[in-house]
Each structure stands twice: as C-alpha cells, then as structure tokens.
Amino acid sequence: MATSVELSTEEGGTYSGPLLDVRNLHVEFRTREGVARAVNGVEYSVDAGETLAVLGESGSGKSVTAQAIMGILDSPPGFVTQGKIIFQGRDLLTLGGEERRKVRGARMAMIFQDALSSLNPVLNVGEQLGEMFTVHRGMSRKEARARAVELMERVRIPAAKERIRSYPHQFSGGMRQRVMIAMAMALEPELIIADEPTTALDVTVQAQVMDLLAELQREYNMGLILITHDLGVVADVADKIAVMYAGRIVETSPVHDIYRAPAHPYTKGLLDSIPRLDQKGQELYAIKGLPPNLLHIPSGCAFHPRCPRARDVCRTDDPPLYRVSQHRASACHFWKETLGDDSVPSDDT
C-alpha cells in the first residue's frame, strides 16, 4: 500500500484527478463460518458536483464499500485486504487514525438510512449538531449553537430556534433525515455518501428530502455517492451508475445509457423486474434464484447460476470489466449480445 506515495500531492500542489477514486478495493469479513468476501475489486470514481449512484441488492457490498471509504468498517471482523481509496490525491488507506479522523466529517460525511438509530437519543439535536463545530473547529458552545440554528434553517426545518432543544424522537422521519443532512453538511465536506437516505421515508417526504439534497449539492459543488436499491430514485438524480453484484461492479454507465440499453444481464433483469407506474403490465420478469452467499461465491461469473445467457465460459472464467464505450463498462462475456438484444434471451442454459 506504500506504493501510493507517488499519487500524493504536496501541500498547495494541484491534483487534477477525480475527487474520489476507488481502485481495486477488496474487503473481507473473517467470521467463524469462514471468510465472506464482501467486496471483490470495486473500482469507481466521483468528481466534484457529480452524483454517482451505487445500485445493488442486499449483500451486494454497496454499503461495505462506503464504510471502507469512510473508514468506519467494523474491524474485526471486516478487513480491507487490497486496493486504494484516493481522495483528493491521497490514499486514505495509508493515513494514520488521527489524520483519517480529520478527513472524516470535515471533508467527507455520511448520511445513513435510519436516522432514529444514527442520532443520539439522549442529546438534543442542537448539542449533536454543535458538536461538529466544537470538536472539529474548536468553537465555543455558544457559537456552535448559533451555527447549529443556521444549519437547521439551511435544511428548512421550521422554527429552528425552538426545535434545537428537541430530541430526535420528537421529530418526524423526514425532519430527522433533515437533521442528519444538516449534520453531514455542517463542515461543508467535498464528498457526501448517502446510504439509502430515503428508503425509510414515504414517497412525498422522499421527494422533499431528495430535492433538498440535490439543492445543497449544487450549491456547494459536492460529490455525492448515493447508495440505493431503488431504480426510480437513481433515474431521478444520478449522473452515472455503478451496479454491484456479489461484491463486484458488474456495470458502470452514464445514467441515460443504462436505462436505454443495459449491457449486463443482471442490470437488464433488474430493469425488467420492476412494475411500472404508467401501465398495467403482464407478468413481471423475475430473475430466477437468489443472490449468492458471500461465503461461497459461484465460480467464474458470480451471476452465472441466475443468468439466462450463461454458457460454459461463464462458469469457469470471471469476466473482466469490458469497455463498452468511452464511459461504459460491463463485466459480462456477452455484453455485446446483451446490448443488442432487447427481448428476453431465448438462450438455454
């Protein structure tokens, strides 16, 4: 990991790469049952002002990757075994604990799905928001409180001055998620990772929260990694997409292309399996089988037992991320066929 030194910039030097560049990241969990390979060579990058959606089902490794980037992976049992996480030109994995902590919160922040369990129930929200300023910026409590009120107004919590003494349980789900966003925004980070930020919310509230997030992102030109399983939310806000399956990226693409013509059978299966709002369809297409057990990831392409296109080569050879076009890649031996064919493949396995 020490080889990443050449990427570091001197203080004041200019670094022209992406804001965040994850390279060949591997994470495993060493459990009593064996080693679960949760992340197997993930690569993605985000620029300032850009939104990357990481799409995947439970167990695909999308949240574990985010935890590794943030440096909040439970270790043990989780270990980063390989790879680089280059943030503003520096490989975070080479930093010591103290330096890493300075990055976390101040330069990159995270928004979690469940605001109720992510906020401290015995501190009022003013104290929790103010903590960001007293700890990271060394402000007095009074100053910090004033900043906390400003923040709450920023995320449009009504009557912020009064609400600052409220405890998390006194807020509705949507308001709580706004408090979470306020906390993430507090130190004006360059990157925000939002892990299923609206999954627990109702649709009308989800729309409010996504709008707020998009507005703040534009204003501060932040990079945003949006982790989600919802293809609708992705289509609404993302610039580009990384689809994950069994700890790998199976397809990356600008958002428009992937919905028009997916280049991986898994992506295609997902798109075909969601019911549509604008028409009453026939039977839904269902991907057969179940997501793999990470203790026993199938040989070759991990998706082959569920894939309508699988052939012998898929059982033996793990497909690399083939370049489909300048900005697209697909980890499927038969990406050309997948792209070209828009009907359900008749290919028998």
Partner 1 sequence: MTTASRPTTPEPSDGRPADREPILQVRDLVKHFPLTQGIVFKRQVGAVQAVDGVSFDLFPGETLGIVGESGCGKSTVAKLLMNLEEPTSGEILYRGEDITKLSGRALKAVRRNIQMVFQDPYTSLNPRMTVGDIIGEPYEIHPEVAPKGDRRKRVQELLDVVGLNPEYINRYPHQFSGGQRQRIGIARGLALRPEVIVADEPVSALDVSVQAQVVNLMERLQDEFNLSYMFIAHDLSIVRHISDRVGVMYLGKIVEVGADAEIYEHPTHPYTQALLSAVPVPDPEARQYRERIILSGDVPSPANPPSGCRFRTRCWKARERCVVEEPLLAVPEAFRGTGGPAAHDSACHFAEEKPVVPRER
Helices (H), 238-341: 255-260, 265-273, 312-316, 335-340
Is 71:92 a contact under the CB 8 Å cutoff? Answer: yes
Question: Residues interacting with partner 1, by CB under 8 A?
Answer: 57-58, 172-175, 202-208, 210-211, 229-236, 238, 255-256, 259, 269-271, 273-278, 280-281, 283-288, 290-291
Closest approach, Cβ 238 to partner 1, in A, equals 8
Q: Which is nearer to partner 1, 254 or 318 (CB)?
A: 254
Burial class (CB in 10 A: 0-12, 13-18, 19+), 102: exposed
Provide the CA 139 distance to its chain's centre, in angstroms.
Answer: 31
Closest approach, Cβ 255 to partner 1, in A, equals 5
Q: Which is nearer to partner 1, 140 or 172 (CB)?
A: 172
Q: Which is nearer to partner 1, 85 or 227 (CB)?
A: 227
DSSP summary character for residue 287: -
Q: Which is nearer to partner 1, 44 or 245 (CB)?
A: 245
For 65, residues 6+ apart whose C-beta sits below 8 A from its C-beta are 22, 25, 27, 39, 42, 54, 244
Q: Which is nearer to partner 1, 2 or 286 (CB)?
A: 286
For 136, residues 6+ apart whose C-beta sits below 8 A from its C-beta are 102, 105, 106, 187
Closest approach, Cβ 240 to partner 1, in A, equals 11
Closest approach, Cβ 334 to partner 1, in A, equals 19
Task: Name the nearest CA neighbour of 81 among 35, 26, 4, 40.
Answer: 26
Closest approach, Cβ 137 to partner 1, in A, equals 32
Please report where in the chains the tokens 């050309």 appear, as a residue.
Answer: 336
